[in-house]
Amino acid sequence: MAENKSPAEELLDLLKNPFRQSLTDSAIWSSLGTSVGITLCTALIFSFVRPFNTVIYAPKLKHADEKHAPPPIGKGFFAWVLPLWRTTEKDLVAHAGSAVLLPIYYTMNSDKDPTQKWFLRLTPLTVWGEPIWALVVLGYAFNIVICGFLWWNYRQIFRLRRFYFQSEDYQRSLSARTLMLNDIPKNMASDEGVARIIDSAVPQSSFSRTVIARNVKLIPGLIEQHDHTVRKLEKVLAKYLRDPQNLPPARPVCYPSKKDPSYSTYPKGQKIDAIDYLTQRIRELEIEIKEVRNSLDKRNTFSYGFASYDDISEAHAIAYTLRKKKPLGATVVLAPKPNDIIWDNMPLTPSTRSWRRLVINLWILLLTFLWIAPNALIAIFVSNISNLGLVWDAFQKQLSTNTVFWGIVQGVASPALTSFIYLVLPIIFRRLSIRAGDRTKTGRDRHVVAKLYAFFIFNNLIVFSLFNAVWSFVLTIWHNCGH
């Protein structure tokens, strides 16, 4: 048995082990060096690439009008630095308090272990024993500062929203004075039925132009093909006609589209004249769209529609009045912008939408629980590789022989793995939520953020902290028993 010491003293002796401190020191420096190096490389690459790719990094400068275009940035490699430096809103919360805590950690570590490296003395690695009231005070100070910043920013957001609602763009937009009706009963699925639904709840409302959604069959797909072909032709012409006085000797060529009904008539695997083909394909798509439109059955309706008013305030007043009501079984909300609507989900019935949402939530719940085990391993072993050496003798010899190398691995592996998860997980959640039945892209993204928040709170705050505490307790008992 080891000499009679308290569990806290045993754990403190273990943490003060020179080998662990050397490993931690290497990990901190490697993590800092990697972060700073990647940041500088990213900034340099961005600085050298940005001036030659303004269409990507500043698309509004080319496509937006003078009123909506952002302030132009010079062509210099570091011309973006000065506008960034002049930005008024800074993220200072993460740095506040360092000037207070670092001297406290350094003093307390120096009193307990004067031989400890100066860099490790700036961390709370071996700060034990008496209460550290500075942490309590700064904890409350951080909360007060964050709440103050939130209050100030919400005031600014409120002013921006009011400015947007009063702007000419919003006042002249059709969606601003339009209501969207969902879950319309079958017997009311007509232009007149949409008007009767609103009149039944708000009989004093003025005349509105109403329309029920109809099954347009292949039109959305044909329009998408048409837009894609037009953009492709514009790209070909922009490259071919870059210098009209000196045209290239050969005209651009391309492969025919596999979605083209006459695809089989073209020579297989052989390119054809791109300008002629794309121009002809655009004409064919326009003719096909007109034919499909003329063949639509106006009786083939969906369960949603729209009602537009002349006055924006009246549309908003009606939406507010009906926010918690379902006149004749339908729901009435302010209409989003057309490009924000997920049109494929609009015809879904409430039962179908609820079932999809339940299935997606079950998948996300399963993913959350499946991540508990990897997250626990990261919390115990990846974030501190020396813990793995305590339960694996062969690996402990490797750690003792190559301390600097494994310190670098520890400093890089944990943040790299965590960053990778932060990048991939939102993609997975968003793809799962696409089929959840949300009617708008904004609503879908809001649900994705809520699910990500719940996932990270559970796995990072609860699982990560819990397993770290459990491992520290087990490590203390293990070492106290003389193993």
Ordered domains of the chain (ranges, CATH):
174-215+297-336 (3.30.70.330), 219-294 (no CATH), 343-483 (no CATH)
Q: In the predicted model, what is the mean pLDDT of residues 213-218? A: 83
SS3 105: helix
Q: Position of tokens 């005209």?
A: 251
Question: How far is it, in rounded angstroms, from Cα 475 to Cα 380?
Answer: 11
Residues 6-59 pLDDT 10s? 544 544 454 455 555 555 565 566 666 777 777 888 878 877 777 776 656 665
Question: How far is it, in rounded angstroms, from Cα 429 to Cα 425?
Answer: 6
pLDDT score, position 106: 64
Start-to-end CA span in the chain (Å) = 8
Q: For 51, how many CA atoms within 13 A lie in the half-sphere containing its CB?
A: 11
SS3 259: coil
Q: How many CB atoms lie within 10 A of CB 453?
A: 10
Range in 85-99, 146-160, 240-254, 349-363 the model is least confident about: 85-99
Bridge partners for 272 per DSSP: 254
pLDDT score, position 93: 32
Give the mean pLDDT of the chain: 78
Query: Tokens representing 341?
Result: 């609507």
In contact, 101 and 138? CB cutoff 8 Å:
yes
Question: How far is it, in rounded angstroms, from Cα 188 to Cα 195?
Answer: 9
Given pLDDT bands bounded at 50, 70 and 90, which one contains residue 94?
very low
Task: Say yes or no to pLDDT of 325 above 70.
Answer: yes
CA-nearest of 227, 219, 220, 344 to 292 is: 219
Bridge partners for 332 per DSSP: 181
Given pLDDT bands bounded at 50, 70 and 90, which one contains residue 233?
very high
Q: In the predicted model, what is the mean pLDDT of residues 285-294? A: 89
Q: In the predicted model, what is the mean pLDDT of residues 85-109? A: 52
Q: Position of tokens 């809103």?
A: 89
Exposed / middle / buried, residue 29 (Cβ in 10 Å: 0-12, 13-18, 19+): middle
pTM over 0.75: no
pLDDT score, position 108: 64
Tally of residues, the chain: 483
Q: How many CB atoms lie within 10 A of CB 97?
A: 17
Task: Say yes or no to pLDDT of 367 above 80.
Answer: yes
